[in-house]
Amino acid sequence: MPVPFLGRLDVTEYVALIGSFLLVGLEALIRILTLALPNSLITLFYRLSRRLFNRWTTPAQKRAEERRQPVSEAVRNASDFVDLCALFGYTAEEHVVQTKDGYLLGLHRLAYKKGEEETKVNRGPNSIKKRVVYLHHGLLMNSEVWVCLTDEQRCLPFVLVERGFDVWFGNNRGNKYSKKSVHCSPTSQRFWNFSIDEFAFHDIPDSISYILETTGQPSLSYIGFSQGTAQAFASLSIHPKLNDQVNVFIALAPAMSPAGLSNGIVDALVKASPQVLYLLFGRRSILSSATMWQSILYPPIFSKLIDMGLSFLFNWQTENISTSQKLAAYPHLYSFTSTKSVVHWFQIIRTKSFQMYDDDVQPPLMLSSSSKYTKVAKYPTRNIKTPIVLVYGGIDSLVDIKVMLRELPAQTVATEIPHYEHLDFLWARDVDIQVFQHVFDALESFTGAEHTKEEYERYRSARHVSLSASASFARYIPNKTSDNTAADSDVSTAVAGSVRDGEEQFVDADERQERLDQVNELRSMKSFETANSSRQQPLSQPPHQARESPITTPVGSLKSDSGSRLGADILRKQNSRPTSPMYPGSLNTQFENDSRTESPSNRSPDSEYQGALPSIAPPKRRGTGTSQMSLNSLRGGKGISLGASESP
């Protein structure tokens, strides 16, 4: 039995608990006062916060804000997923699926390229057949996080649609689009009694089944972000048949067993007793007051508070995301979820095990241990048969790649982007350069649910071509970088902005598109060279081998090739960024053979290779009436970037 009272928490944790109660009480008081205030006073507070912000900013920052404002404000003020897509000229569909336990989940769909709105896609024998891609969001989010970018070129769903995919988006129970059940009301405690287990057992498989039934396709490709990857790990591990419905699983900023929070006091508190969160936030929705703060604060101040919170909890500096992108995306960042699902995460952190929810958590100090008599079931992730491609950030505090690879199948492929944090995989300035090609290679290689040797060979070949092309690209393009220039690449398709000594300058962004086209040409050349060379030597002996690393397939082992170290050059040439420790210069791609038995100490240096991946240039924008009346009209026809950059 536990030691009475004293065994629950130590002194510092009690101090943190009392302080948390005071802060929560203060927030509740402010929220009550806000709800009681008339709209005129709320508007007054908003204007006062704006005036305070303007007093702190420099003239150069004000001019940059004015140029960014139209696009950023349009995205920020969009009311829902459909409106966000309409800003860029895309028509979105809304669907509803009922889970087996009675929750109604909202799904979104982008099936049509611009100009295809009147055609039938995956609707019967006479319709256009397209491969299906399913995207799922992270913790405390909804599907809007995928499409709230200020630049169409950096929006993965839009690029996938233009490449001919039928793109679907999921939403977890309880969030903005899934706040309904046939059995209970969202005002009841019963509605919010769900954790990651319910996401894995119901939300993911039921959503995928609905999508495949609607489209008539035999399988789909799954792209998850953060918790969206954890839900896929869990679902694929407990639903064997689901592995036949998912042809490839691409995990961006994957989450499985995080090490913990960066703030020591908060981390110690939740690790000691995850159930403390119930005392702080109740047993319904967590952080439901976030929308209140958004309504009364001037957007730059609200954005700054979000940055401070991310730094406090996770030590994320968000330096790869531009200010204009934050202003546009942060209002779409939060969505409702249950306190229980967050408690589940802290149970996982505490036990260092990707396990199911523990309904019988033991206090940290026990007179006798019962752990040897009970054991919470772990998700059997090593049983996953679907090919897994991990893309993670080198400075993401929530990713422990070594622990993750030990719990995944041997053929899992892991790729590191050294200077990336967690949210960068959604909104970074160069996300289209650093991340998209990984996604395209996987989607183009794994097309069926059979997971054959040929698919792994095709994937290895595509990876080799991309890396070789990126190496050639770095040698081919001369360095035009200025040491005092930094680019903010969340630009529209016409112009890229830069800042020098606090003054804004505008340069033609056609050069960036030209370079991306050159990358495509180089990829085609390398593909041709690889095809010719493969006729003269076995596939396992690539012609441009620099360093080798095996990819274990279900039927054998293949060799992978490396590119050269060039990440910093690519970033400088693409975005005119200064050399900085923040951009160390490479993508570190690991092809793990069997990480469960290979420790870092005995791993050969040849098990890693370096090289930044190029981005396939997205299709040219095909103007429609909708797009011309939205963002283009906001630009006023001047052809000037509304995402102007600020000094680093």
- CA distance linking residue 444 with residue 116, whole number of Å: 23
The catalytic position among 396, 400, 488, 490 is 396
Return the CA Rg of the chain: 25
Q: Round to whole Å and give the CA distance between 201 and 208.
A: 12
For residues 428 and 329, give the distance between their C-alpha atoms in angstroms, rounded to a whole number: 11
Choosing from 226, 324, 498, 576, the catalytic residue is: 226
CA atoms within 13 A on the CB side of 356: 16
Determine how many CB atoms are found less than 10 A away from the CB of residue 68.
27
CA distance 498 to 577: 9
Phi, psi of 203 (to 5 degrees): -60, -50
Conformational region of residue 122, where left means phi above 0, alpha means psi within -120 to 50, and beta covers everything else? left
CA distance 497 to 437: 24
State how far the Cα of 371 lies from the Cα of 192, in Å rounded to an integer.
28
226 annotated active-site: yes
Retrieve residue 48's tokens: 């006062």
Give the relative orientation of helices 453-476 and 510-534 as an angle to the nearest 10 degrees.
130
Q: CA-to-CA distance for 362 and 350, rounded, in angstroms?
A: 12
Q: Which residues neighbour 113 within 8 Å (Cβ) at sequence distance 6 or greater?
A: 161, 162, 164, 622
176-201 burial: b if 16+ Cβ within 10 Å, else e: bbbbbbeeeebeeeebbebbbbbbbb
Is residue 136 annotated as a catalytic residue, yes or no? no
Rounded CA-CA distance 64/42 in Å is 27
Buried b / exposed e along 477-496 (16+ C-beta atoms within 10 A): beeebeeebbbbbbbbbbbb
Q: Which of 462, 614, 609, 600 is nearest to 550 (CA)?
A: 609
Where does residue 398 rank: exposed (0-12), middle (13-18), buried (19+ CB within 10 A)? buried
Tokens 């979105």 sit on residue: 92
Across 573-603, b (16+ Cβ under 10 Å) vs e yields bbbbbbeeeebbbbbbbbbbbebeebeeeee
* 3-class DSSP state of 61: helix
- The answer to whether 530 and 517 are in contact (CB under 8 A) is no
Candidate list 108, 332, 419, 422, residue with the active-site label: 422
Q: Residue 28 CB: number of other CB atoms within 10 A? A: 11
Is residue 267 flagged as an active site residue? no
- Distance between CA 586 and CA 588 in Å, rounded? 6
Q: From 610, 623, 517, 520, select the one nearest 565 (Cα to Cα).
A: 610
Which amino acid, 188? S
Positions annotated as catalytic residues are 226, 396, 422
